[in-house]
Structure 1
Amino acid sequence: MSFQKTILDNGIVVITEYMPSVRSISLGLWFNVGSCDELPNQRGLAHFMEHMMFKGTPTRTPFDISMHFDRLGAEFNAFTSKEYTCYYARFVDDKLESALEVLADMVINSSFSTEAISTEREVVLEEIARSEDTPDDYVFELFNQSMITDHALGLPVLGDKRLVSSYEHVDCVSFHDQHYGSGNLCIAAAGNIDHDALVKLTQAYFSSMNTLEKEQRNQDRVAYQSGCFSVTRDIEQAHIIYGVPGLALGDDRRFASGVLTSILGGSMSARLFQEVREKRGLAYSIYAMQGIYQRAGQWCVYAGTRPDNVKEVIRLIDKELTSLADGSLDQDELQRNVDLICGQAVLGYETTSSHMMRLGKRGILGSQHLSIDETIERFKQVTVEEVVSIAETLFSNKPTIAVVSPLEEKELQALISE
């Protein structure tokens, strides 16, 4: 399957992938704005704006919007990340125009009424509270803020309660005028979609959108901080993130890094799962992951364990990372993990939604478009030497360790340093 791309006169990018074997279409409006684009007095505003887009326009109430998509038999939602915001829907192919017209109305003409802001502010505050009450989520925020201290990439997408509580109509209008313009928009669609038809509909329904050039982000170097950071909570487990600086978007070593991540914590046969859970029973959940951004990256391991096991779990993580960096990898283990990655890639690429998400993310970030076959081929080309090399590079950095647990900070520091 191949994609088609058109850039309209006002800067809107339209990307589609035709999938003739399906009747559905997944459509996403991807905006080049996320939490890393907020000013210090706007923390959480990108996410708050995502909520407000569903809260009515001059011609539609919030209930009208919800009912419209219900009548289409569609799924629709949105999400905000550090570098983009996406409004998406999945529907039957003959509902394209009806779905696109309402999505356009939402992102162009939202009213940001005082009443709606007042109500939605409370909803977002509840969302923040829920995140803070979920320790295996909150430990990632602690890790991000501790590792990246002087950059918006390290701050929570949800923002902080004080600022979220202060946002008013003028704040929403100003943010909308600055970021929700034509040059900052990529429309991605996959499924039984006619590219030219979508281009014409986009020209019709987005003609009134504020014309802006695509914003270019500051490319200042992101500084990282190592050390151990903790928060004390009245909970049963200790939630641990052990991480190091990772690769940024577009780095050619990302395929080797992906294999590295799989080897250490990508499956039930992964080294950390076997050593920490299967052999010693020290954790229920342990896995490795990487976060890749335009200007920075993070590579980390998550583990949840009882407080008495924290020192041993951290020791085992460090041991396995060091072992791999020292070259303890053979061709059989490499091939097994490449096969796993390729198989999961194919399985995860069977829906219109997965195709659309892939198109949209790459389109809005300006990264290379590779087909699933091209991606698989790149993973198949990864060598033992490349995995060991990226392990040496990543794990030569001093780690950032974040822990949310019932232990007081002094207790935790004493336990780890014993």
Structure 2
Amino acid sequence: MDNFRKTTLDNGVRVITEHIDHVRSAAIGFWFETGSRDENPDERGISHFLEHMLFKGTGKRSALQIAREIEQVGGHLNAFTSKELTVYHASMLNDFLPLAVDTLADMASHSQFADKMIEREQGVVLEEISGSEDSPEDVVHEDFSHLLYGKHPLGSPILGTRDSVSSFTRDDVLNYWSRRYKPENMLISAAGAVDHDKVVKLVERKLNLPSEAVKRSKRKLPKVRKDTRHERRKPIVQAHLTIGGEGLSYASEERYPFFVMNTVLGGGMSSRLFQRLRERSGLAYSVYPFHEAYHDSGLYGVYVGLEEKQVKRAEKMIREELQKLINKPISKASLKRAKDQLKGGLTLGLESSAARMHRLARMDIYLKRFVSLDELLEGIDSVSIEGVQEVSRTLFDKELIVATVLPDGSVPQMG
């Protein structure tokens, strides 16, 4: 706890840091609590589009200079957009942390959103949409989300649609930036060889966001739809199946039993799903569980890619494995293996500054407090066999939804 510090600036921006001894690296992220679920119907995809535009030039940096600034000192600069977050992050040697803060603050505060850059980037994002449409694995996951959430923004693709992205103007981008990129919507997290007070001073000096205080708009609670199946056909060879339903929110009290259950079901090559569908049955190369946790909801399911003629058989096997978790308590040995696997993976995963930075931010955004690694490991150790069975009932003791993307027969199989 001594290495964790948090400061809320006068303008509402939260700055959290974790100092890690014996490293020379640093990672920093500018986290905006806005994503595709916060868009109006005519703005679908604008959160992701704005993320792209922040790399396209400021008053003092060109797009090339932004790309080169961190790379030329051996660092890494990137960003991502999710349903609830937009994040700009950098990793570098700690000596260059001031450069990273200056670059990210310049991007967040002073991007120009030039008309010619907007037009150019629309073409880039349209190609990104095309790439996603050409990936049946992406398509079946989007269909699953839409089947679960319907017209709620959580059921819409983060990238938006061709029509929405093509319609964006500079005024649209500026309006969304000024509406959502507010200090009270922002958190800055840093981890590694960092000094909290120096990070705070850097942010205070460099960051200049629109300061008019606005009341946060309340997110609409999603309603889960009752439609249970969706099928589409595409010119592909392999079939793609997802089955599942509503999952847990990020701060759910059942999250620790969920972590253990998910490990038993699909955590690696020794998991039940992998062993049954791939190793013993030879039905698939790729089979895994997936989950997304939001402030007030979540989704959980199982994905498998395989021959179309095996889809029904695979669905039956998956349903049997889910039902087994409900009906038959896991063994003490299985519980211990899952806990050890989880604890080892989590501990190893937090050995990088970047991983610590991401964890810091998500804890503050979703849990509103710092959770030490020791507390996390204790939470996993506290999980009982009954807890695993109970969270399985929560997730699977209901009508599940199924989304499939199947071959349309137009593409011949090789050989």
TM > 0.5:
yes
Displacement of 1:249? 2.1
Query: Which sections of structure 2, spanning at least 5 residues, go unmatched?
Result: 410-415
Query: Distance in 1 between the 2:264 and 2:226 partners?
Result: 26
1:179 aligns with 2:188: no
Query: Distance in 1 between the 2:252 and 2:68 partners?
Result: 44
Displacement of 1:214? 7.0
1:96 aligns with 2:62: no
Query: Distance in 2 between the 1:221 and 1:282 partners?
Result: 35
Displacement of 1:397? 1.6
Q: Which moved more, 1:9-18 or 1:269-278?
A: 269-278
Query: 2:160 — aligned with what?
Result: 159
1:16 aligns with 2:24: no
Identity of aligned residues (%): 38
For the Cα contact (< 8 Å) 2:235–2:407, is it kept in 1? Answer: yes
Query: 1:411 — aligned with what?
Result: none
Query: 2:413 — aligned with what?
Result: none
1:352 aligns with 2:353: yes
TM-score by length of 2: 0.95
Q: What letter is aligned with 1:227?
A: T
1:190 aligns with 2:191: yes
Query: Which sections of structure 1, spanning at least 5 residues, go unmatched?
Result: 409-418
Query: 1:6 — aligned with what?
Result: 7
In structure 2, the residue corresponding to 1:101 is in which secondary structure?
Answer: helix
1:127 aligns with 2:125: no
Query: 1:414 — aligned with what?
Result: none
Query: 2:42 — aligned with what?
Result: 41
Query: Distance in 2 between the 1:77 and 1:297 partners?
Result: 26
Distance 1:191 1:219, change over 3 A: same
TM-score by length of 1: 0.95
Displacement of 1:154? 1.1
Query: 1:53 — aligned with what?
Result: 54
Residues 27-55 of structure 1, C-alpha deviation per residue, up to 9 Å, x if partnerless?
Answer: 00000100000000000000000000000
Query: 1:304 — aligned with what?
Result: 305
For the Cα contact (< 8 Å) 1:32–1:215, is it kept in 2? Answer: no
In structure 2, the residue corresponding to 1:304 is in which secondary structure?
Answer: strand
Displacement of 1:63? 1.0
Query: Distance in 2 between the 1:169 and 1:235 partners?
Result: 38
Displacement of 1:220? 2.6
Residues 193-217 of structure 1, C-alpha deviation per residue, up to 9 Å, x if partnerless?
Answer: 0000011111111245434457353
Displacement of 1:219? 4.8
Structure 1 segment 55-74 matched on structure 2, within 5 A: 55-74=56-75
Q: Which moved more, 1:343-352 or 1:201-210?
A: 201-210
Displacement of 1:323? 1.1
Query: 1:253 — aligned with what?
Result: 254
Query: 1:318 — aligned with what?
Result: 319
Aligned length: 408
Structure 1 segment 208-223 matched on structure 2, within 5 A: 209-213=210-214, 215-223=216-224
For the Cα contact (< 8 Å) 1:182–1:211, is it kept in 2? Answer: no
For the Cα contact (< 8 Å) 1:5–1:14, is it kept in 2? Answer: yes
Query: Distance in 1 between the 2:208 and 2:113 partners?
Result: 21
Q: Which moved more, 1:225-234 or 1:337-346?
A: 225-234
Residues 205-242 of structure 1, C-alpha deviation per residue, up to 9 Å, x if partnerless?
Answer: 12454344573532535323341111101111111111
Q: What letter is aligned with 1:329?
A: I
Query: Distance in 2 between the 1:393 and 1:169 partners?
Result: 46
